[in-house]
Amino acid sequence: MGHGTVEDPHKRFETYVLPYLDLLYRAAIRLAGQEADAEDLVQESCLRAFAAIDQLRDVESCKAWLFKILRSTYLRQWGEDPYRQRVVRIEDLESTLADMNDVLQDPYESDPPYVHFVGVEVRKAISALPLPYREAVVLADVVRFTYREMSQILEIPSGTVMSRLYRGRRMLRAALRDYARQGRVKQKAL
* Over residues 160-189, mean pLDDT: 79
What are the φ/ψ torsions at residue 189 (nearest 5 degrees)?
Answer: -70, -25
Is CATH 3.30.43.10 the right assignment for the domain spanning 9-77?
no
Nearest to 20 by CA among 145, 182, 112, 159: 145
pLDDT of residue 6: 62
Of the two residues 37 and 179, the one the predictor is more confident about is 37
Structure pTM?
0.64
Q: Residue 44 corresponds to which amino acid?
A: E
pLDDT tens by residue, 82-131:
444 444 344 434 443 433 444 444 444 444 544 444 567 778 888 889 99
Q: Where are the alpha helices (DSSP H) in 52-118?
A: 62-77, 90-95, 100-104
Distance CA 142, CA 131 (A): 15
Which class in CATH covers the domain with range 90-189? mainly alpha
pLDDT of residue 79: 67
Where do the structural domains in the chain lie, given as residue ranges? 9-77, 90-189
**Least confident segment among 1-10, 39-48, 99-108, 132-141:** 99-108
